[in-house]
Amino acid sequence: MSEIKEFLRQIEMFLGLSERMVAEVAKLCRPESYEADHIIMERNSPPTHLYLIREGTVEINTATDTAATAEGVVVTLGKGQSFGEMGLVDNGTRSATVKAATPTDLLAIECAHLRRLCETDTDLGYLVMRNIASDLSFKLRNRNLI
């Protein structure tokens, strides 16, 4: 568990959380591993989980066809980055398909569980949502809509 807590402290979404808060979030984390080319989440699917990249890289693809062509790749994310966090903010379907570009180790957090924690512990909820808003604002300013 301490390895997960150390990792969470490095994730932008959890900056400023107290030791107790980090421990609560760590309880929600589930390790997952994917081989290269495995689809982790598909465009238009429900926002069930958010993911934190421990090792490896993923490709975020906004192509509208099911083949998710290379022309639709918007960004490649790696260690310490996250995806799927918009599922915490709204309940809209996924805006992109995410595929493991290399063998990838993730921490998955069920959106409903983290949302419930944020509602119960409003200090934690404020910090997490502020950090997500700051990250999304940065991405929008830089025209990277993922």
Reported as a single tens digit per residue, the pLDDT across 89-137 is 887 788 889 999 999 999 999 999 999 999 999 999 999 999 999 888 8
Q: What mean pLDDT do residues 61-78 have?
A: 71
The tokens describing 52, both together, are 């934190």
Spatial CB neighbours of 93, under 8 Å, sequence gap ≥ 6: 43, 44, 45, 46, 47
CATH number of 2-139: 2.60.120.10
Helix (H) or strand (E) holding 42: none
DSSP letter at 92 equals P
Residue 105 burial by CB count (10 A; 0-12/13-18/19+): exposed, middle or buried? middle
Highest mean pLDDT out of 40-54, 58-72, 83-97, 104-118: 104-118
Buried b (16+ CB within 10 A) or exposed e, 6-15: ebbeebebbe
Give the domain ranges of the chain.
2-139
Residue written as tokens 């570009």?
Answer: 101
Q: What mean pLDDT do residues 80-92 have?
A: 85
The count of C-alpha atoms lying within 13 angstroms of the C-alpha of 99, restricted to the half-sphere facing its C-beta, is 18
Question: d(Cα 87, Cα 76) in Å, to the nearest integer?
Answer: 19
pLDDT for residue 85: 87
φ, ψ dihedrals at 19, nearest 5°: -55, -45
Question: In 3D, which of 3, 4, 24 has the Cα closest to residue 128?
Answer: 24
Q: Is 64 a residue whose pLDDT tops 80?
A: no
